[in-house]
Structure 1
Amino acid sequence: MDFKLFDESIYKLFGKDLLEEFNDDYGYTYKAERPIGKIGYATNLSIETIEEAVKQGVDLMITHHDAWDFIYGLREACLAKLQKHGISSFWIHGPLDFVSFGTCTSLMDKLDINRIIQFSFYENGDIPGIGEFDKSIEFDALIKRMSVKLEEPVRFWRNSEKKVRRVGVLTGAGHTTNHLKYAVEKGCDTYITGEATLYSIQYAQFAGLNLIAGSHTFTEIFGVASLAGKLKEIDQNIEVVELKEMHFEHNR
């Protein structure tokens, strides 16, 4: 795959409208000269994921997050390391959160939520996706299922004795009280995200809404995997590998 085909594929998969709406929320951190034979995907662009890409002989990294500017010095260090090893890096944030195969939808699919009532979308802020099980399941069963799929312990707060049927999902930092309030208004009994704060925990308790929080990184990895898989469908000649990240957000 050359970069012309890669760029055309991104345009095809996400569409003009979504890419224009989030035109400053995706792009290349670094573009090297070598063609794309092997793609490595991860949630975060970091020194550790770049080192993993070097080990696996990756030509292009695809991540959900660019190196954050507020992790002072990280972006410069990542750029220097990418340049040293001649590895390209492409990140896609907002568009991947709100496309049909993106982060929220991919997590719902992993949790075997049978029916997606609505995808997550953006309207003066992030709006959670809503999904529903065909048959209600026990809250404990959902906690176990999510822990297995994310391969990490999840935090949870049971605030209702009812079984789980309708679930609101906003991966990553989908933890503000207005996100939870939206889920309540949509009839959700449970809300899933990648972070939790004092305010979200208190509001969930007040509203009688079950709350489950995995990590920011591993609630979003399935969306990046979905994108990598779709690129593989477009060009069967490329190899796709996951760049494994540590579960650094949880102290086991």
Structure 2
Amino acid sequence: MVKVGYCTNLTIESVEEAAKNNVNLLITHHDAWEWMAGIKEEVLQILKQSNITHFYIHLPLDDAEFGNNTSLLKKLGFEVIDKFSNDEGMYCGRIGETDNPITFEDLVAKIEVLLEEPVRTWKNNDKLIKKIGVVTGAGFSAIDVKDAVDLGCDLYLTGEKILYTVQYAKYSKIDLVVGSHTFTEIFGLERLNELLIEKYPMLESVRINEEHIE
């Protein structure tokens, strides 16, 4: 039986965890970053020694109809109604809407339960949350925040922020919630894994644990 493992990042730790779980195929969202000197070489060596095949899917999983943004929105109870944040022809963001507006505090609580980690928050208006813009992972661009505002969103949710993210959210009076890059992006991989199991029931699968280090 072939055993498939999945997680967001290809790191020394995730590959070692995959090897401990006797994984044959490891699927990740990110490849090992080449600019982090030495890590990719060591990761590839461990994969080779452990006879693990690696497959990663980056921008296409951000844009997929079952991908990171869509899966996260569905788990939060929002219906996807639009896409935004175009990057090289791929849409890295989705707009979600609910018929049952929710308070900022209740939505933040749901997000923290879903991500299994604390999030950073900036409450910039007093409205109930009906529509949100989501760019999982590195959605720190003020341009993406502006697009979410222009599309009528009450809140912007992402996995990274910089000074300009916070400044523009405050200026435009849109609520801002920032989780981690890693755990805002796990749900597209989770859904991809489910689709693989549906098509190939003989596969065994395991989620590879990653640390909340961000």
Q: What TM-score do you get using the length of structure 1 for normalisation?
A: 0.82
CA offset at residue 235 of structure 1? 0.3
Alignment match, 1:88: 53
Question: Does structure 1 residue 195 correspond to structure 2 residue 174?
Answer: no
Structure 2: gaps spanning 5 or more residues: none
Alignment match, 1:14: none
Question: Does structure 1 residue 132 correspond to structure 2 residue 93?
Answer: no
Question: Does structure 1 residue 71 correspond to structure 2 residue 36?
Answer: yes
Question: Does structure 1 residue 42 correspond to structure 2 residue 23?
Answer: no
Alignment match, 2:210: 245
Alignment of 1:1-252 (within 5 A): 37-113=2-78, 115-119=79-83, 122=86, 124=88, 126-249=91-214
Please give the secondary structure, in 1, of the residue aligned with 2:29. Answer: strand
Q: Residue type matched to 1:68 in 2?
A: W
Q: Residue type matched to 2:175 in 1?
A: N
Q: Does the aligned pair in 2 maintain the 1:60–1:88 contact within 8 Å?
A: yes
Provide the identity percentage.
Answer: 46
RMSD: 1.3
CA distance in 1, matches of 2:54, 2:38: 17
Please give the secondary structure, in 1, of the residue aligned with 2:127. Answer: coil
Q: Residue type matched to 2:142 in 1?
A: T
Q: What TM-score do you get using the length of structure 2 for normalisation?
A: 0.96
Q: Does the aligned pair in 2 maintain the 1:184–1:209 contact within 8 Å?
A: yes
CA distance in 2, matches of 1:140, 1:58: 40
Structure 1 residue ranges, 4+ long, deviating more than 4 angstroms after superposition: 123-127
Q: Does the aligned pair in 1 maintain the 2:63–2:92 contact within 8 Å?
A: no
Structure 1: gaps spanning 5 or more residues: 1-35
**1:24-75 CA distance string (max 9 Å, x none):** xxxxxxxxxxxx7010000000011111111111000000000001111111
CA offset at residue 157 of structure 1? 0.3
User: Relative to 1, partners in 2 of residues 1:121 and 1:227: Cα closer, same or farther, differing over 3 Å?
Assistant: farther
